[in-house]
């Protein structure tokens, strides 16, 4: 009887083990089948990211090639323009997805416009397992040929002494100079387009400008030239032309104007302790909008830093350069073919006092004025404000610059190094070029 019971127990154990093995096999099969769509979903995510990046790269290359071909000098043949477009496309697509895309750009001409289009494919990676071999990558860019692009660009550039400091082995103002000159040349076809005008506002604690004498407190004669500071509040946050009130006029800078900011008292208009190495010696003068691009690049090449930082004053003058009202004479805001831009660059926070409400005057008023100025400039949607924080170690100022820009995601640039600044100016050039050249 005992023997029979043991045989029965043994049979039950064998049956249980066999059932367990069968169950494990079924579970493994089910898990394997379930893993297939999960694997494909993960592969799809990777491949979708790749194709989005490839399309963005192709579109940027198409825009650059269309702009380059359309900007060729008048009389350039379609054959020559086609070659310029293809060469530019290839140069811009170097690296990245260049060796993975299988399309060829096509160039066509119609009704005074040039179109560069692309229709290619990007091989998939993980999705290939699911039978998806490639994604379509198609895009186009159309530009009006020899369109007399019209733009007015005020460059408000920080030339305080900190711009003499080094970044990546090069003084910051030297990097800024080269990037700004490249942008002038790039947007004017190396100086050949008179419809694109540039103005310069080099600022430190003052600006050096030529103004009608009646617009300056204590000014006499037809015109006045010298170092000036901001107007009384709230005039220093507007583009209003000076009137009869002395508060609406700019002041003649004197050491006593700095009040409690004693460190700045020795930085005279004609140099530190009148050593002759001041604003004029360093070519730090406001230059109104001009088509003389050679003069603009020459001044950029010559300017050197001096003094402290007054961002709000620089922006105030930059705004005046772009306004059709006196003291300067920009194109009318009613000219729909003309685009206006102000590009502001600084590497530091406000260190100079400015006029505020109730007769107050300190650097915090200058910071507040910058915020108000930016809001007022943008209020009419007629001027695009682009800002650059260059190796700026002050989060509050960085935030003000970000908020000052027309679109912080697009028009604010944080440049930590010389390379970043060069890239920022290249992107700004592309943004402006698209705004004034691209018809679609």
Series of mean pLDDT values for 10-residue runs along the chain (440 residues): 44 44 48 50 63 83 88 78 91 71 88 89 67 76 77 98 93 98 89 92 97 93 93 97 95 67 81 92 98 98 97 99 97 94 98 94 96 97 97 97 98 96 94 74
Asked if the structure places residue 7 within a domain, the reply is: no
In which residue are the tokens 């100025």 written? 373
pLDDT (0 to 100) of residue 39:
47
Phi (first) and psi of residue 106, to 5 degrees? -120, 140
Same domain, 93 and 197: no
Asked if the structure places residue 216 within a domain, the reply is: yes
CATH number of domain containing 251:
3.40.50.410
Tokens of 186: 């790039």
256 vs 394: CA distance, rounded Å: 28
Same domain, 389 and 417: yes
For the beta carbon of residue 290, count every other beta carbon within 10 angstroms: 15
Tokens of 356: 């505020």
Nearest alpha carbon to residue 392 among 402, 377, 378: 402
Give 345's strand partners. Answer: 157, 388
SS3 of the chain: CHHHHHHHHHHHHHHHHHHHHHHHHHHHHHHHHHHHHHHHHHHHHHHHHHHHHHHHHHHHHHHHHHHHHHCCCCCCCHHHHHHHHHHHHHHHCCCCCCCCCCCCCEEEEECCEEEEEEEEEEECCHHHHHCCCEEEEEEEEEEECCCCCEEEEEEEEECCHHHHCEECCEEHHHHHHHHHHHHHHHHCCCCCCCCEEEEEEEECCCEEEEEEHHHECCCCCCEEEEEEECCCCCHHHCCCCCCCCHHHCEEECCHHHHCCCHHHCCEECCEECCCCCCCCCCCCECEEEECCHHHHHHHHHHCCCCCCCCHHHHHHHHHHHHCCCCCCCCCCCCCCCEEEEEEEEECCCCCCCEECHHHCEEHHHHHHHHHHHHHHHHHCCCEEEEEEEECCCCHHHHHHHHHHCCCHHHHEEEECCHHHHHHHHHHHHHHHHHHHHECC
Same domain, 132 and 176: no
Domain boundary (144, 176, 203) is at: 144
Same domain, 82 and 132: yes
Asked if the structure places residue 15 within a domain, the reply is: no
Asked if the structure places residue 242 within a domain, the reply is: yes
Asked if the structure places residue 22 within a domain, the reply is: no
Domain boundary (107, 126, 144) is at: 144
pLDDT (0 to 100) of residue 302:
98
Same domain, 156 and 263: yes
Same domain, 96 and 165: no
Same domain, 290 and 355: yes
Domain boundary (144, 176, 201) is at: 144
Same domain, 413 and 271: yes
Asked if the structure places residue 16 within a domain, the reply is: no
Same domain, 131 and 158: no
Give the orientation angle of helix 172-187 with respect to helix 293-302, to 10 degrees.
170
pLDDT (0 to 100) of residue 345:
99
Same domain, 166 and 96: no
pLDDT (0 to 100) of residue 41:
55
Same domain, 371 and 262: yes
pLDDT (0 to 100) of residue 126:
60
Domain membership of residue 199 as a residue range = 150-437
Asked if the structure places residue 93 within a domain, the reply is: yes
For the beta carbon of residue 17, count every other beta carbon within 10 angstroms: 10
pLDDT (0 to 100) of residue 397:
98
pLDDT (0 to 100) of residue 17:
44
344 vs 346: CA distance, rounded Å: 7
Asked if the structure places residue 31 within a domain, the reply is: no
Q: What is the pTM of this model?
A: 0.74
pLDDT (0 to 100) of residue 8:
41
Same domain, 162 and 262: yes
Q: Report how many domains make up the chain.
A: 2
């Amino acid at each position: 009887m005992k023997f029979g019971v043991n045989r029965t127990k043994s049979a039950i154990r064998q049956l249980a083990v066999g059932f367990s093995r069968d169950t494990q096999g079924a579970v493994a099969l089910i898990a394997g089948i379930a893993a297939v769509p999960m694997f494909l979903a993960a592969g799809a995510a990777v491949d979708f990211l790749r194709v989005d990046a490839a399309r963005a790269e192709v579109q940027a290359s198409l825009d650059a090639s269309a702009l380059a071909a359309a900007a060729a000098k008048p009389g350039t043949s379609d054959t020559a323009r086609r070659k310029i477009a293809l060469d530019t496309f290839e140069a811009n697509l170097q690296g990245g997805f260049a060796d993975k895309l299988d399309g060829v750009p096509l160039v066509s001409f119609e009704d005074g416009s040039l179109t560069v289009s692309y229709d290619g494919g990007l091989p998939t990676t993980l999705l290939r397992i699911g039978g998806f071999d490639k994604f379509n990558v198609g895009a186009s860019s159309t530009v009006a040929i020899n369109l007399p692009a019209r733009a007015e660009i005020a460059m408000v550039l920080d030339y305080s002494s900190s711009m003499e400091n080094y970044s990546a082995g090069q003084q910051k103002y030297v990097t800024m100079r080269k990037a700004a000159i490249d942008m002038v040349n790039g947007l004017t076809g190396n100086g050949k387009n008179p419809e694109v005008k540039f103005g310069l506002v080099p600022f430190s604690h003052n600006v050096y400008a030529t103004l009608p004498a009646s617009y300056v407190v204590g000014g006499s004669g037809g015109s006045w030239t010298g170092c000036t500071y901001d107007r009384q509040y709230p005039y220093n946050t507007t583009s209003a032309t000076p009137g009869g009130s002395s508060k609406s006029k700019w002041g003649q800078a004197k050491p006593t104007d700095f009040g409690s900011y004693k460190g700045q008292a020795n930085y005279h208009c004609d140099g530190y302790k009148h050593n002759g190495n001041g604003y004029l010696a360093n070519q730090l003068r406001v230059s109104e909008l001009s088509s003389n691009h050679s003069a603009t690049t020459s001044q950029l090449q010559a300017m050197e830093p001096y003094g402290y930082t007054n961002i709000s004053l620089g922006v105030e003058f930059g705004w005046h350069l772009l306004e059709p009202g006196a003291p300067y004479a920009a194109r009318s805001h009613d000219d729909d073919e003309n685009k206006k831009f102000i590009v502001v660059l600084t590497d530091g926070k406000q260190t100079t006092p400015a006029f505020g409400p109730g007769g107050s005057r300190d650097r915090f008023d200058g910071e507040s004025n910058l915020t108000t100025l930016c809001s007022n400039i943008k209020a009419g949607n007629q001027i695009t404000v682009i800002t650059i924080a260059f190796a700026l170690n002050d989060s509050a100022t960085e935030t003000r610059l970000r908020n000052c820009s027309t679109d912080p995601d697009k028009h604010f640039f944080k440049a930590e190094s010389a390379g970043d600044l060069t890239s920022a100016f290249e992107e700004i050039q592309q943004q402006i070029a698209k705004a004034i050249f691209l018809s679609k």
